[in-house]
Structure formats: structure tokens, C-alpha cells
Amino acid sequence: MISTNDFKNNMTIQHDGHLYQIIEFQHVKPGKGSAFVRSKLRNLRNGTIVEKTWRAGEKVEQALIDKRPMQFLYNDGDTYVFMDQNTFEQLELDRSQLEYESNFLVPNMNVEIRFFETEILGVELPEKVTLEVAETVPGVRGDTQTNATKDATLETGYTLQVPLFINEGDRVVINTRTGKYSAKA
């Protein structure tokens, strides 16, 4: 058990049967009445964000989240196979558990899989990944409009906006947090 006075960003807590990660919090001491803690929490099971106000000093259960380094091996239809880099055990996840992350997974990529006890909470990708452009229209010579972009489909099937100078076969760096183009590799 921890006190709401000890909250820190990215700490994980268990409350009302849900697992939350603290995104941000603020201690408030009004002129009248007692102090309280206003917090913004992300549900680790479904990704929703909720705001919750706590009494100062209120006790909550801390949730210990285990992160294991794993390597993505391959996907077989809707099944994604990962290997634990320490024990070499293989773990299979369904596509529904990797809705967003599957856009950036390529074989042999190192990721971290988050566990709470035996429950799999999700996959944590590297902040930036380098992927090959599988399909895009050729850039038009002389088109120098500032910040002009075009659609590009990556080797994983993910579509995003890239600058006009990017061509098929180029490798691009993608920010996995935002899903946007970052740089040419």
C-alpha cells in the first residue's frame, strides 16, 4: 500500500479492480477544507484515460508490473510469436492484443512485454523504428511546396504521411508513440 502523497508519474496502482498508470498528478491545498490529490490515470487493460481525485494521504494498492525483454519472431495469420530472450520460451499473442503495435512489428525486433502477475498487459515498442517504404507515388520534380507530404505504405501495411522526396524502397524512421514520420534512415 502506498499513500497518494507518494504518487509519482508512471507509477502503477490497483484501484477498484483496475490497473492504472499515473500519467500526471497534482497536490492541491485549498484555502478552506482539506488537501487532496488530483490525478490523471491510464487504464492498462483498455487504454482509457480517467481523472480521479483522492483525499491527501489516502492509501492505494501499488501494482507491480513486470517487463520482460522479448524478441518478435513472426506472425502466423492473427497469431504473433515472441521469444523470451532469457529463457528462450515462446509466447503467442493474438492480433487483438496488438491492434496498434502490429503496425510496427518486424521479425527480430526487440520489445518489452508487460505482465501483471500472469496477465499480459501489452507490448512496449522501441520509441523509434526503421521500416521500408513498400508503396508510394513518385515525388514530382520541382514541387517544392513547404512541408508537402504524400501517402506511403510501409512493409507492415501501415499507411502514413511522408515528405515528397521519399520513394519506394527507402527506409524511414517512424515514431511509434505518434505513428508519424520522423526521418529518412
Q: Is the pLDDT at 182 greater than 90, yes or no?
A: no
Q: So what's the pLDDT on residue 142? A: 60
In this predicted model, what pLDDT tens digit does every residue of 103-123 receive, in sequence order? 888 889 999 988 888 888 888
Pairing of strands 171-175, 159-163: unpaired
Domains in the chain and their CATH numbers? Answer: 2-62 (2.30.30.30), 66-124 (2.40.50.140), 128-184 (2.40.50.140)
In this predicted model, what pLDDT tens digit does every residue of 28-61 receive, in sequence order? 898 888 899 999 998 888 878 999 999 888 999 9
Instruction: Measure CA of the first residue to CA of the last residue in the chain; give whole Å.
Output: 46
Q: So what's the pLDDT on residue 51? A: 94
Q: pTM of the predicted model, to two decimals?
A: 0.72
Q: So what's the pLDDT on residue 120? A: 86
In this predicted model, what pLDDT tens digit does every residue of 45-54 receive, in sequence order? 887 899 999 9
Q: So what's the pLDDT on residue 144? A: 59
Q: So what's the pLDDT on residue 147? A: 73
